[in-house]
Amino acid sequence: MHLIAQDLVNGILAGGILAVVALGFSLVWGIMNIINLAHGAFIMLGAYTTYQLFTSFHVDPFLSLPVSFVLLFALGYLIQRFIMNWVARAPVLTTFLLTFGLSLLIVNIALNVWTGDTRGVTTAYSGANFTLGDVTVPWAKLFTLLAALAITGVMQLWLTRSRTGRAIRATSMDIGAAQLSGVRVTEIYAIVFGLGAGLAGVAGTLISLSYALNPSMGDLFLVKAFVVCVLGGLGSVPGALVGGLVYGIVEAFATQIDVTVGGQHISGSGLQDAIALVVLLIVLIVRPTGIMGKATA
Amino acid sequence: MNPATLKRIGLGGITGNPIAFAVVLALMALLLAIPLTHNGYIELVFRNILMYAAMAYGWNLIGGYTGYVSFGNVAFFGIGAYCSAILATHGVDNLLLYVLLAMAVSAVFAAIVGFPVLRLKGHYFAIATLGVALAVTDIIANLDALGGTGGLALHQVDEAHFSIYYYAMWLVALGSMLGTYFIARSKLGYAFVAIRENEDAAAVLGISATRYKIVAWTIGAMMAGAAGAVFAPANGFIDPSITFAIDSNVFPIAMTILGGIGTVAGPFIGALLLAGANELLQRFFVKAHTLFFGAMIVLIVLLLPRGLVWLFGLRGGARAWLKSLSVYKA
């Protein structure tokens, strides 16, 4: 019983990070139809921004959240405006390949700047935790979850209430109609891609609190972002949150599997990806547009 | 763009530009001579190019011709490699048997998995195939009988006959290329393209979309499986991280797009260029080669968004090319 409660809490805590990891990826894919393979590289840059601010200037990781967001937003905005915009109307595979190239480029610049050494951001409260009954909760992860919830809430409000947010949603619904209504699509695309990168930066900062850093750290999270955003529903902000939590919980429970069948020892900790992906397949077959997705996609 | 439009603007029919295909066939003939003049490192480089080409052809059938973008084709490559390894650990030492078993197992696996997965469309199909690849990787890494994460060693032929692996890979690549050519020209190819252009319209015309999608996916799987079957003994050792490497998943896709998607020449040209450039950059820039590699991909996408093969059919020279660049601009 205690194990089940602990797994549930671990899953929810991990799911919060995954939600932010997937949010930017999901927006860019859902709104611009770009599968951004550089998303993992942006996450890595966000994490290293926090690392650099923390080691050089002793800035608390949570305080570096806005810095990561602004820096990565600027980078994403410029990349879309001056590079990606050239192939904005090309088939999805063209931009897919372009972001693959960009990702290689960014990761290797990082490799030359920070070397391949594994690094970490260790704050005074890194190891601190509290217990609730039998369940242990690390403070850093709890704050990370709260930050993730807050970011998701702000994003949802901004997209539905603000003028720019409405222009973004209009563009994703019908690019021609949006243009006729006076939406500057080039600008909106640059903002969305910037937003995607900024959110990746924020995710990177949150990740740096509980995971080790190295220039290729983004790959792992890119795959998870893929799964989470499809699980929740492409381009949907609440979908990313639900998808992230579901994925986190499934993965946490999967690690507990430990059986032996006919001499073959099966341990869940090695199979967590496989189990999470089987869940994804089942969700896709039952609900092909994701948990929070709309009926027509 | 449909095949008729492509032909009208000088970009070839359903198999792509015929000049490009002729050039590729000539290059293939030249590659036959590599082991005679070079061995060791150069032979390895070209064997890898042929391997990637076969995988790219496998991807091109489902991703290029049928328009279903798969991120899971590496699973078939891995399954092929493990088929060889299993046979090898049971004392079988016959390259032809390896390839035949790998093709059969890949095909059966693809058909079974394809049934639920190919019902999904677009992004959802892409993610489901990625899931299949990752799940297969995880499962193999956890099966003690297949060596787990420790991998399996395979018996190799002696050094004097080592080029047999090169020729085997050459045959696999040639088979994939010619297979693509004849499939594209047949009723199958036209059904694939019809599904890509408009699946509903294809269904109205009496094309059973599900059946043809599974055929495209299964034949593609056999190409990747065959490449894996030759790779395993040629490499002498396989484990999950080698056989299911990210490179083996992304490279064939990148090569097909760079070369020219939905053409017969494209995957080979892409493989030659990308794998070749990767090797050269690695030799000259030990530390920063991936940086240049990434920059190269970015530049090619921006300058040739339709793939290199399109250059063969381009009418109107540099001006037409410059004009074509702004077509995709927002």
Among B residues 40-59, those touching chain A with beta carbons less than 8 Å apart = none
**Which residues in B34-65 are b (16+ Cβ under 10 Å) and which e?**
bbeeeeeeebbbbbbbbbbbbbbbbbbbbbbb
Q: What confidence score (pLDDT) does residue A53 get?
A: 93
- Provide the 10 A C-beta neighbour count for residue B185: 14
Q: Which among B117, B261, B302 has CB closest to A86?
A: B302
Q: What confidence score (pLDDT) does residue B28 get?
A: 93
Question: Tokens for B323?
Answer: 């004009």
Residue A278 in this model has a pLDDT that exceeds 80: no
Mean pLDDT of all residues belonging to chain A: 86
Question: Would residue A81 count as lying in a domain?
Answer: yes
pLDDT tier at A154, thresholds 50, 70, 90: very high
DSSP conformational letter for B265: S
Q: What confidence score (pLDDT) does residue B9 get?
A: 46
Give dist(CA A30, CA A155) in Å, integer.
15
In this prediction, residues B203-218 reach a mean pLDDT of: 91
To the nearest whole Å, the CA of B283 is away from the closest chain A CA by 17
Rg (CA), chain A: 19
Give dist(CA A10, CA A2) in Å, integer.
12
Do the Cβ atoms of A254 and A13 come closer than 8 Å?
A: no
Question: Would residue A295 count as lying in a domain?
Answer: no
Question: Would residue A294 count as lying in a domain?
Answer: no
Alpha helices, DSSP H, located in A58-138: 65-82, 92-114
Q: Which residues have CB under 8 Å from A180's CB, separation 6+? A: none
- Amino acid at the residue B259: G
Question: Would residue A296 count as lying in a domain?
Answer: no
Alpha helices, DSSP H, located in A181-267: 185-210, 218-232, 237-254
In this prediction, residues B29-42 reach a mean pLDDT of: 86
Q: Which residues have CB under 8 Å from B226's CB, separation 6+? A: B54, B80, B99, B102, B103, B106, B172, B175, B176
Give dist(CA B198, CA B276) in Å, integer.
36
Q: What confidence score (pLDDT) does residue B10 get?
A: 46
- Amino acid at the residue A166: R
- B257:A109 CB<8 A: no
pLDDT digits (tens, 9 = 90+) for A165-217: 999 989 888 888 888 988 898 999 999 999 999 999 999 999 998 888 988 88
DSSP conformational letter for A288: T
Q: What is the CATH number of the domain that holds A243?
A: 1.10.3470
- Amino acid at the residue B300: I
Q: Which residues have CB under 8 Å from A182's CB, separation 6+? A: none
Q: What confidence score (pLDDT) does residue A255 get?
A: 77
- Structural domains in chain B? 3-325 (1.10.3470)
- Amino acid at the residue B320: A
pTM for the model: 0.83
- A273:B134 CB<8 A: yes
The verdict on B69 touching A (C-beta cutoff 8 Å) is: yes
Q: Which residue of A has its CA nearest to B63?
A: A93
Which helix (H) or strand (E) segment holds residue A265: the answer is strand A264-267
Q: What confidence score (pLDDT) does residue A205 get?
A: 93
Question: What is the number of CB-based contacts under 8 A between chain A and chain B?
Answer: 144
The HSE-up count of residue B264 (CA atoms within 13 Å, CB side) is 27
To the nearest whole Å, the CA of B287 is away from the closest chain A CA by 8
pLDDT tier at A161, thresholds 50, 70, 90: very high
Top residue of A277, A278, A283, A286 to mutate, by most chain B CBs within 10 Å, is A277
- A280:B128 CB<8 A: yes
Q: Give the closest residue to A39 by CA, choosing from A92, A103, A85, A101.
A: A103
Q: What confidence score (pLDDT) does residue A66 get?
A: 93
Most confident region among A201-205, B246-250, B313-317 by mean pLDDT: A201-205
Give dist(CA B130, CA A224) in Å, integer.
11
Among B residues 274-313, those touching chain A with beta carbons less than 8 Å apart = 287-288, 290-291, 293-298, 301-302, 305
Choose between A47 and A5: higher pLDDT.
Answer: A47
Give dist(CA A73, CA A64) in Å, integer.
14
Give dist(CA A28, CA A38) in Å, integer.
11
- Amino acid at the residue A226: F
pLDDT tier at B306, thresholds 50, 70, 90: confident
Give dist(CA B167, CA B174) in Å, integer.
10
Question: Would residue A34 count as lying in a domain?
Answer: yes
Q: Which among A87, A280, A285 has CB closest to B328?
A: A87
Q: What confidence score (pLDDT) does residue B330 get?
A: 67
| Residues of chain A contacting residue B119, judged by C-beta atoms under 8 Å apart | 285, 288
pLDDT digits (tens, 9 = 90+) for A238-251: 888 998 998 888 88
Q: Which residues have CB under 8 Å from A89's CB, separation 6+? A: B327, B328, B329, B330
φ, ψ at B169 (rounded to 5°): -65, -35
Pairing between strand B152-153 and A264-267? unpaired
In this prediction, residues B224-244 reach a mean pLDDT of: 91
Question: Tokens for B125?
Answer: 């199909």
DSSP states of B135-179: HHHHHHHT-GGGTGGG-EE-----GGGTHHHHHHHHHHHHHHHHH
Mean pLDDT of all residues belonging to chain B: 86
Q: Give the closest residue to A99 by CA, choosing from B252, B275, B308, B254.
A: B254
Between A46-60, A155-169, A187-201, B131-145, the lowest mean confidence (pLDDT) is in B131-145
- Provide the 10 A C-beta neighbour count for residue A95: 24
- B302:A90 CB<8 A: no
**A173, exposed or middle or buried, with CB in 10 Å at 0-12, 13-18, 19+?**
exposed
Residue B169 in this model has a pLDDT that exceeds 90: yes
Residue B81 in this model has a pLDDT that exceeds 90: yes
Residue B2 in this model has a pLDDT that exceeds 60: no
In this prediction, residues B174-197 reach a mean pLDDT of: 93
Question: Would residue A292 count as lying in a domain?
Answer: no
Question: Would residue A291 count as lying in a domain?
Answer: no
Between A87-96, A152-161, B37-46, the lowest mean confidence (pLDDT) is in A87-96
Percent of chain A at pLDDT above 70? 92
Q: What confidence score (pLDDT) does residue A139 get?
A: 86
- A93:B261 CB<8 A: yes
Percent of chain A at pLDDT above 90? 31
- A102:B298 CB<8 A: yes
Rg (CA), chain B: 20
Cα–Cα distances (Å) from B310 to A156, B132, B325, in that order, read 43, 33, 12
Do the Cβ atoms of B140 and B240 come closer than 8 Å?
A: yes
Residue A256 in this model has a pLDDT that exceeds 70: yes
Give dist(CA A201, CA A297) in Å, integer.
28
Q: What confidence score (pLDDT) does residue B121 get?
A: 79
Q: What confidence score (pLDDT) does residue B5 get?
A: 54
Choose between A277 and A110: higher pLDDT.
Answer: A110
Percent of chain B at pLDDT above 90? 40
Q: What confidence score (pLDDT) does residue B12 get?
A: 59
The HSE-up count of residue A181 (CA atoms within 13 Å, CB side) is 14
Residue A270 in this model has a pLDDT that exceeds 60: yes
Q: Which residues have CB under 8 Å from A144's CB, separation 6+? A: A13, A16, A17, A206, A209, A210
Q: Which among B138, B145, B258 has CB closest to A273?
A: B138
Between A56-65, A74-83, B43-52, B239-248, the lowest mean confidence (pLDDT) is in B239-248
| Domains: count for chain A | 1
- Host domain of residue A91: 2-286
